[in-house]
Amino acid sequence: MTHPLRVVAISGGLQSPSKSAALTEHILNLIAEEISIEQHSVELGQLAPLFAGEIWRTQLPDAVERKLALVEQADILVVATPVYRGSYTGLFKHFFDFIHQYALVDKPVLLAATGGSERHALVIDHQLRPLFSFFQARTLPLGIYATDKDFVDYRVQDVVLIERIRLAVQRALPLLELTRAAKHAFVEQLVVA
């Protein structure tokens, strides 16, 4: 029996609706077309009032703790942040400051960002990859960067962007299949034991 992979999308957007959330939703849908997944979303803008002023994980309410556990227990992460002053948002970083240092080791992570113009496209390689390298996660080869012009009514509409997302997912599939095989083997061991 094949178990679906748990894919958790984290959107660092502060507004609702959010282009970052729309981008993660589009990516999740394309992944779901290729493999069996269990989808979950974490929108940081909605959680912000619950954790923005806290310093220690022990201070967090249960609602935030459940989202952190969801991220830590995911098989695959899809993360997206709006670009703010040349980097990810402070809220995005603050959320990941609560993640256990070793919880993301070897976890596949598809990186994405949204910005007002193309000039911030390197945020994926210069800001997001180093953050997830700290966690020893496996950042997937292609990142996704979208600008305001790629959306219509908070839906991904640009054909070139859609093809880039499709290519990123296709290139990620071999690693996702390895993740599925490892999860399947682990579950089988539990059943036998």
Burial profile 35-72: b = 16 or more Cβ within 10 angstroms, e = fewer: bebebbbbbbbbbbeebeeeeeeeebeeebeebbeebb
Burial degree of 185 (CB within 10 A; 0-12, 13-18, 19+): exposed
Query: Which band of pLDDT confidence, cut at 50, 70 and 90, is reported for residue 4?
Result: confident
Residues 10-23 have pLDDT tens digits of: 999 988 899 999 99
pTM recorded for the entire structure: 0.90
Enumerate the H helices of 35-137 as residue ranges.
44-51, 62-72, 90-97, 123, 129-134
Residues 123-132 have pLDDT tens digits of: 999 999 999 9
Domains of the chain, first to last = 5-192 (3.40.50.360)
Residues 74-84 have pLDDT tens digits of: 999 999 999 98
